[in-house]
Amino acid sequence: MEYQLQSSRIHEMIEPGKGGIYLKWLEPAAVRRAQWAAAVAKERIIIATVTFVGMLVLRAISANPNSPGWPAAVAIALAGAAIFGFFMPWFMGLFPGQILVSVKGINRNAPRMWGQFGIFAIEFWRWDDLRRYSLGSAILGKRTFRTITFFGDRGRLSTIGLDAKLSEAELMAVMQQHGVHAEK
């Protein structure tokens, strides 16, 4: 009975709510961390190295007579490199991203774990750029997460984690309403 109700809802028109938003949910942080782990691995090392070298350069050019000695400066630079290169990306990865499906397209706002040298990422896919999608799941550790993958003219655009409370039927209806079809 529930399946019939959901499948009949797919053909209904979904009206946008306040601000032109159809649906919004919090993307599980584990899905985002798994996706971006490879992308930020190299950047973590670069950020740690730049922090370390930058702090040592600042110590070298410091005219302050109260500057710490070189052994202390190296220790402080190592601590700074560890914080900015490794702790902060891990910490930023604990927070979920917010997904908004609106009349303009699909928007992901998420802490980026320093990826692409930024703290916060805003990704946006216009309806015109999306051709098809597929619903699936990702097994991360001992948990399984529902996902949606978007495809454009040049192939895969992105995979987004779905919230447990999100109705796939409503999501499918909005996608169909904007001419984005399920992959066969």
Half-sphere exposure of 79 (CA within 13 A, CB side): 6
- Six-digit token pair at 36? 């971006």
- Six-digit token pair at 61? 């050019």
Q: What sign does the CA torsion over 77, 80, 84, 86 have?
A: positive
Distance CA 42, CA 54 (A): 18
Under a CB-based contact definition with an 8 Å cutoff, are residues 31 and 147 in contact? yes
Give pLDDT, residue 117: 52
- Six-digit token pair at 109? 């706002």
Give pLDDT, residue 4: 40
**What's the pLDDT tens digit per position in 121-161?**
788 999 999 999 999 998 877 888 999 999 988 888 888 99
Q: What is the pTM of this model?
A: 0.72
* DSSP label at residue 133: E
Give pLDDT, residue 7: 41
Q: What is the mean pLDDT of the chain?
A: 84
pLDDT higher than threshold 50 for residue 33: yes
Return the minimum-mean-pLDDT range out of 4-18, 43-57, 59-73.
Answer: 4-18
**Domains, the chain, with CATH or none:** 2-32+95-182 (2.30.29), 39-92 (no CATH)
Give pLDDT, residue 98: 92
Neighbours of 147 (CB within 10 A): 18
Burial of 126 from C-beta contacts in 10 A (0-12 / 13-18 / 19+): exposed
**Average pLDDT estimate for 50-77:** 93
The 10 Å CB-count burial string (b at 16+, else e) for 29-55 is bbbbbbbbeeebeebbeebbeebbeeb
**What's the pLDDT tens digit per position in 82-129?**
998 888 888 888 888 899 999 999 999 887 655 545 567 788 999 999
Using a pLDDT cut of 90, give the percent of the chain over it. 45
Region label for 117, one of left (φ > 0), alpha (ψ between -120 and 50) or beta (otherwise): left
pLDDT higher than threshold 80 for residue 68: yes
Give pLDDT, residue 79: 97
Give pLDDT, residue 54: 96
The most confident of the ranges 32-41, 71-80, 114-123, 157-166 is: 71-80
